[in-house]
Amino acid sequence: MSSPTPDAKTALFVPCLTGAVFARDADAQRKLLALSGYPGSDTLAAFCCGQPAATAGDAAGSATMGRAFAAFAAAYDAVFVASATCCAHLRQADSGGDRVRYAPEVWVERIKARSEQAEIPIYLHRPCHDVWDETQFRDYERWVAETANVRVIARPCRDPCCGFGGVFSTLFDRTAEAMMAHRVGAIAEAGAAVVVSAEPGCLSHFAAHAGGLRVVPLATFLVSRGIA
């Protein structure tokens, strides 16, 4: 899906977990959107995409949130979403239709800046319910490496899930904690000191069990590396 035209009326959707755990990342997202040619995007009034309710089995509640999102989105040509699972859920539920744009897709297409900071190793986390297929994620991975001047370590464990899983980490907290402890240990042993992702749900789970690892949302990390 191509990026919106520069004259498009745009908004930024700030997912509930971004607002609750990584509130400053919304400002970093705006800086990257401005660098991409979309300064002054409004903040979409919707609070939640409905994905947490869906994973909890509340289909009716999720549908209600989806309709609210679609109603707010209807006022815009494009709504940028910097959460992989939120964007995937919105597209699957057809909440907002073609207006819903995964913000990192736009950044990959439009941002050509390169960090001049020294190279560092990072773990770039991919959520289980990603909006991208394998080929798209690998292209994104290469873009992050080139843009931020980082070495992206390979996933050091077979299990792709961090243990968050929406309400899974609440209902099965000990299992989720064990899954994260295994992952954090493997990441640290592989040499990465920073965990980066465009998925605030997974990152909130990482942050709660990170030990000595830094946990940083993608937009905040790129800005900290001198991009925008």
Close Cβ partners of 60 (under 8 Å, ≥ 6 residues apart): none
Phi, psi dihedrals of residue 7, rounded to the nearest 5°: -90, 5
CB atoms within 10 A of CB 146: 12
**Confidence (pLDDT) at 136:** 94
pTM as predicted: 0.90
What torsion do the CA atoms of 56, 201, 122, 28 make, to the nearest 10 degrees? Answer: 160
**Confidence (pLDDT) at 83:** 92
CB of 81 within 8 A of CB of 10?
no
Q: Which element (helix H / strand E) includes 174?
A: helix 173-189
**Confidence (pLDDT) at 59:** 92
**Confidence (pLDDT) at 66:** 93
**Confidence (pLDDT) at 168:** 62
**Confidence (pLDDT) at 74:** 95
d(CA 177, CA 201): 14
CB atoms within 10 A of CB 181: 13
**Confidence (pLDDT) at 111:** 97
Phi, psi dihedrals of residue 66, rounded to the nearest 5°: -65, -40
Q: What is the pLDDT along the chain (228 residues), one digit of tens a residue?
A: 678 887 899 999 998 888 878 889 999 999 999 999 999 899 999 988 988 888 788 899 999 999 999 999 999 999 999 998 899 889 989 998 889 999 999 999 999 999 999 999 999 998 877 888 999 999 999 999 999 999 999 888 766 776 566 666 666 667 767 776 778 788 888 999 899 999 988 888 788 877 788 999 999 999 999 998
